[in-house]
Amino acid sequence: MFTNIVNADGTLNDQNILRRENIYQGVNGRFVERFFIDASNSYIFKPLTNNSQLGKEVWIFENVLAELPLKYPKILSYSVHSKPISNWIILEDLGTINHTFDTDIALKLTVLMAKWHSFPIARISNTQLKGPKPPIQEMAAYILKNKEKVFAVFRLHNVSSLIGNIIFNAYTDNPFSDKKVLCHGDLHTGNFGYADDKTVVLDWEHCHLNTPYWDLYHLIDISHPDFPRESGRTLRNMILDCYCDELGIPASERKQFKREYYLFSAVFSIWMMLLIQSDLDNQNSKWTPEQLSRQLKETIRNLVECAGKISY
């Protein structure tokens, strides 16, 4: 069906398609596109959008996703090649996806997350899967090394230095556990939504082994310039309780589980805060200052809320 749809240079062949439209641009500048081969049949063309993830999405599709009870676009054709430009996949088109974040979808995703977090990691422990950001231990080491910068940004945004002291002291006393699960890796609002009233999870190329808090943070507290949202304390607690219920975490262990999540979220949010502030200061981002300022405000709100729960 897809013979002669993709050129040798990894671009769509306009002579053999009816029309095409951009969906989003990857970090390497290439676009994910919807293309039509006739008036009623459309598909998604996804070139390699992050060169470090070469071949990863196809591998995940063939070795992991087929065994999970998830709704996601199926890969219909692909090319895996040593040259990044020659890597691409063609996926089924699920139609318009409503990227929304509310209590309903958050809890549905939490139930699904518990299922993929239960995937036997022994089957993928020898793979080279990696996430899009440094592990939390590296983030913690970075912010500990740059305390003065952290407190300077706090002062700039009227955040009490007490917040930073709570986080730094808590991390020094209780470093994160080393438990690993299969993580989606990049579960921001742009990577999930509703398609025909069904919950869809997209873009699994960043799937890797990590702490369970990684996906929980991306679902609950990650900020994104394109997808502003309000989460708040109530929903955060509901998601954590739902996750504990699904995994059978006993009541006696939930307080510690939540406390470690709050610390993880606060550390990750400080790292994000420094990143966003740097983008604002240097004006070197693809997003507008207004988008970044909104993202930064959301990030700081979340870290303050989580820091307030670390010692409860």
Q: pLDDT digit string (tens) for 27-57?
A: 778 899 999 999 999 999 998 877 667 778 8
Among 49, 66, 92, which residue terminates a domain?
92
173 vs 109: which has the higher pLDDT: 109
Of the chain, the percentage scoring pLDDT greater than 90 comes to 70
70 belongs to a structural domain: yes
Side by side, the strands of the sheet bearing 75-79 are 19-25, 31-36, 42-47, 88-92, 75-79
Among 92, 114, 149, which residue terminates a domain?
92
Average pLDDT score over residue span 307-311 = 89
In b/e form, how buried is each residue of 212-227, taking b as 16+ CB within 10 angstroms? bbbbbbbbbbbbbbeb
**Quick one: residue 133, left, alpha or beta (phi over 0 = left, psi -120 to 50 = alpha)?**
beta
Task: Note the pLDDT of residue 224.
Answer: 93
Q: Tell whether 157 and 234 lie within a shared domain.
A: yes
Average pLDDT score over residue span 91-118 = 94
Q: Tell whether 203 and 108 lie within a shared domain.
A: yes
Q: Tell whether 111 and 134 lie within a shared domain.
A: yes
Q: Supply the CATH number for residue 38's domain.
A: 3.30.200.20
Q: Tell whether 156 and 241 lie within a shared domain.
A: yes
pLDDT at 174 exceeding the cut of 80: no
9 belongs to a structural domain: no
**Least confident residue range of 7-16, 40-49, 59-68, 80-89:** 80-89
Residue 301 buriedness (CB in 10 A; 0-12 / 13-18 / 19+) = middle
pLDDT at 249 exceeding the cut of 90: yes
Q: Tell whether 18 and 121 lie within a shared domain.
A: no
pLDDT at 154 exceeding the cut of 60: yes
Q: Tell whether 176 and 44 lie within a shared domain.
A: no
Q: Tell whether 38 and 181 lie within a shared domain.
A: no
Task: Note the pLDDT of residue 176.
Answer: 84
pLDDT at 312 exceeding the cut of 60: no
pLDDT at 231 exceeding the cut of 70: no
Structural domain containing residue 79: 14-92
Q: Say how far apart CA 145 and CA 148 lie, in whole Å.
A: 8
Q: Tell whether 187 and 241 lie within a shared domain.
A: yes
Question: Across-strand partners of 78?
Answer: 89
Query: How many Cβ atoms are within 10 Å of 181's Cβ, its own excluded?
Result: 19
**Are 260 and 213 in contact, with CB atoms under 8 Å apart?**
yes
155 belongs to a structural domain: yes
pLDDT at 216 exceeding the cut of 90: yes
2 belongs to a structural domain: no
Structurally, how many domains does the chain consist of?
Answer: 2
Task: Note the pLDDT of residue 256.
Answer: 92
Q: Tell whether 154 and 288 lie within a shared domain.
A: yes
pLDDT at 10 exceeding the cut of 90: no
Task: Note the pLDDT of residue 3.
Answer: 77
78 belongs to a structural domain: yes
Task: Note the pLDDT of residue 124.
Answer: 82
Q: Tell whether 79 and 109 lie within a shared domain.
A: no
1 belongs to a structural domain: no
In the structure, what pLDDT confidence band is assigned to residue 274 with cuts at 50, 70 and 90? very high
Average pLDDT score over residue span 173-194 = 90
4 belongs to a structural domain: no
Q: Say how far apart CA 312 and CA 306 lie, in whole Å.
A: 10
In the structure, what pLDDT confidence band is assigned to residue 242 with cuts at 50, 70 and 90? very high
Model-wide pTM > 0.85: yes
Q: Tell whether 167 and 273 lie within a shared domain.
A: yes
Among 36, 64, 92, which residue terminates a domain?
92
Looking at residue 151, its amino acid is F
Q: Supply the CATH number for residue 146's domain.
A: 3.90.1200.10
Q: Tell whether 68 and 109 lie within a shared domain.
A: no
Share the mean pLDDT of the chain. Answer: 91
21 belongs to a structural domain: yes
